[in-house]
Each structure stands twice: as C-alpha cells, then as structure tokens.
Chains A and B, each alone.
Chain A
Amino acid sequence: AQSVTQPDIHITVSEGASLELRCNYSYGATPYLFWYVQSPGQGLQLLLKYFSGDTLVQGIKGFEAEFKRSQSSFNLRKPSVHWSDAAEYFCAVGARLAGGSYIPTFGRGTSLIVHP
C-alpha cells in the first residue's frame, strides 16, 4: 500500500527566505504525487501535481516540486516566502481507481510559520 511521510511537523522561516518542505513516499509503481495547501479555516487547494514527464513541476503561487525517484522524494520549494504562505501543507501520493483516476493518500502535514 502507498504511504507518505512528511518528516517535519512544523517549519519556521522568515519572510523572503527560501523554503523547502520534505516529502517521502512509498509506492510500488510510478507514483502520482500531489501537494495541497490549507490556509487557516479554509479547505484544501491543489498546489501542483506530478503524473509523468519533467521531474520539476511548477505550481500555483510560485511553488515548485521536484520528483526524485532514487530518493522516493517529492519536495516542495519556493524561492522567497511571503507572509500569506503561512498554512498547512500536505503531500499526497495517488491511489489508482478504476478507469485511471487517482485519489490522494495524504501525509500528516507540515505547518509553515512565517516570521516577518
């Protein structure tokens, strides 16, 4: 069965600093990978996804993630963090449904705190 590990429960960065959130997955085949963000009191928003092709994936809000098969990782990065990026971030690996759809199996999340 697939699983996702987000080793950092909390990450604190200063506004303007770079950010990397770690994600490691376990999956028997080529994984479909997602990053979601949840702002305080809000629902889930998809930041980006990797299905195949280029291993560096661009997402919304200036985020990107790199798929590294050799390390079973899909780390999320942003070169310069804004105060509005403070949120909970979830990495997820896709579980295949009939017909080829994928639904996410979530990690436990990383809470990002941004200092002014």
Chain B
Amino acid sequence: EAQVTQNPRYLITVTGKKLTVTCSQNMNHEYMSWYRQDPGLGLRQIYYSMNVEVTDKGDVPEGYKVSRKEKRNFPLILESPSPNQTSLYFCASISLGSTDTQYFGPGTRLTVL
C-alpha cells in the first residue's frame, strides 16, 4: 500500500530538548516536504527536498532542520524547540513529473511546554 508514515503521532516535550520527527514514504518519490498547520493559518511549508541531498527552505523554516540522506526518509529536526513550534505537522511526497497529487502523512501533533 502506498503511504507516507510519520512518527511519533503525538509528542509532548519541553523547551530546548532536541527532537526528531521521522517521515518515510514507500513510493520512491523524489519530492518530499514538511508542513505545519496552525488554526487560521492553513498549512505552511517548512522545508522541501527535490531529491537525495537536495533540500531547500519553504515559507517558515526558522527553528527547523531537515536532512535527506535516503530517498525514502525525510526527518524534521527541532534542535531547540520553543512553545511557538507547538503545531500539527504533516509530511508529504510526490513523484516529479507525475500528474498525481501529493500524498500526505497522518500528521504529528507536537506540544512544546
């Protein structure tokens, strides 16, 4: 089954404690991205990756890092989380050149105290 998986689904942490949210897709997609969703703001793109070792900033990259060492994985790293990063996070992927739509993961709800 084609899918994008994220872990963990829920996370409560404290300010400054480094965390990683994993994202994995099984469709051999080149393009992967991370979004955050906040009430009244819709989904905003944090970072994206066009392929292995190719990443770039989205609209709201401050406070986040990503890496793309393998095609299937695109982890989101918060090295020093702050309360304003409390949000719902979605990972997504798509095959470049495809007329298909982007596949979204189930979401990770992060609370930073």
Q: Which residues of A contact B (CB under 8 A)?
A: 9, 34, 42-44, 46, 49, 51, 90, 97-101, 103-109
Answer whether A49 and B96 are a contact pair too, CB < 8 Å, given A108-B40, A109-B42.
no
**B21 an interface residue at 8 Å Cβ cutoff?**
no
Is there an interface contact between B104 and A98, defined as CB atoms closer than 8 Å?
no
Answer whether A106 and B42 are a contact pair too, CB < 8 Å, given A43-B105, A101-B31.
yes
**B15 an interface residue at 8 Å Cβ cutoff?**
no
| Residues in A neighbouring B50, C-beta threshold 8 A | 97-98
| Residues in B neighbouring A100, C-beta threshold 8 A | 96-99
Docked pose: A100 CA to B107 CA in angstroms: 26
Answer whether A97 and B96 are a contact pair too, CB < 8 Å, given A34-B101, A43-B107.
yes
Contact of A44 among B31, B44, B90 (CB under 8 A): B90
Docked pose: A103 CA to B45 CA in angstroms: 10
Contact of A46 among B44, B97, B101 (CB under 8 A): B101
24 A-B residue pairs with CB within 8 Å? A34-B101, A42-B106, A43-B107, A44-B43, A44-B90, A49-B101, A51-B99, A97-B94, A98-B50, A99-B96, A99-B97, A100-B97, A100-B99, A101-B94, A101-B95, A101-B96, A101-B98, A103-B33, A103-B102, A104-B43, A104-B102, A106-B44, A108-B40, A109-B40
Most chain A Cβ neighbours within 10 Å, of B42, B94, B96: B42
Is there an interface contact between B94 and A44, defined as CB atoms closer than 8 Å?
no
Nearest Cβ distance between residue A68 and chain B, in whole angstroms? Answer: 22
**B41 an interface residue at 8 Å Cβ cutoff?**
yes
Is there an interface contact between B41 and A108, defined as CB atoms closer than 8 Å?
yes
